[in-house]
Amino acid sequence: MYTVVEDHSPYYICYQHPGQEEIVRICQEYLVGLKPVDRFTHHKVDPQTAQRIADLIPIGQHIPIMLERVSLFITPPGVYYPAHKDGVDHRCSLNYAVKILDNTCPTRWYADADVLPHYTITDPFQDNRSREARYFRPNLHTPVCSLITQPGDVLLFNTDIFHDFDNRASRHERVVLTVRFAEPDQHYFDKIKEKMFGPDTLENKREAPTF
């Protein structure tokens, strides 16, 4: 059912599955009706579209998808989102590359020990956002893992490790579908990894994307 492209646990696993092209097609059609954005936008899709997408996700047959949180992350060119952990107690997501037009937007993960001593972490209960490292300066830190998302990628993504993404060098809008599981605090990256791929996952290196 799954074909692993890259295993960079515990940060991400890139994989393929039947039906993913239809998920991307649904999202691309949905994008046509949205107004352009000038800042990072978290857009929750309507319930009918969320259900259509969830029905095509194989792991959703075993672990319920949080339908109210099936979302498009839309990032205009020139935008940086600082290091953060998603939500209050969210552990991992499934991400689908919907619109990737270049190879200039890295996603990077950082160790707690490299972040926590230097920044105040925002309270997601207070501002209804992620656990963000306030005024994070990426040039002062070395990521423990980096990823350039490619067209067609599907990712099991660890959101419980500090991570950022940097679209400042791009001239293009970037769109990623992100899907959470119901009861997200119960579904850690390693648990979902074993459920989907078994205890052992191959790590297949690939070359940097060209556009």
Q: For 10-33, what is the mean pLDDT?
A: 97
Domain presence at residue 67: yes
Q: What is the pLDDT of residues 111-159, one digit of tens each?
A: 999 999 999 998 766 655 689 999 999 999 999 999 999 999 999 999 9
Q: Are the C-beta atoms of 185 and 89 separated by less than 8 Å?
A: yes
Average the pLDDT over each of 23-27, 123-127, 171-175 and give the range with the smallest value: 123-127
| Residues spanned by the domain of 102 | 3-195
Flag whether 86 is in a domain.
yes
Residue 206 belongs to what H/E stretch?
Answer: none
Chain mean pLDDT for the chain: 92
Model pLDDT for residues 69-90, shown as the tens digit of each residue:
999 999 999 999 999 999 888 8
Q: Is residue 203 part of a domain?
A: no
43 contacts 76 by C-beta, under 8 angstroms? no
Into how many domains does the chain fold? Answer: 1
CATH number, position 147:
2.60.120.10
59-74 burial, b at 16+ Cβ within 10 Å, e below that, comes to: bbeebebbbebbbbbb
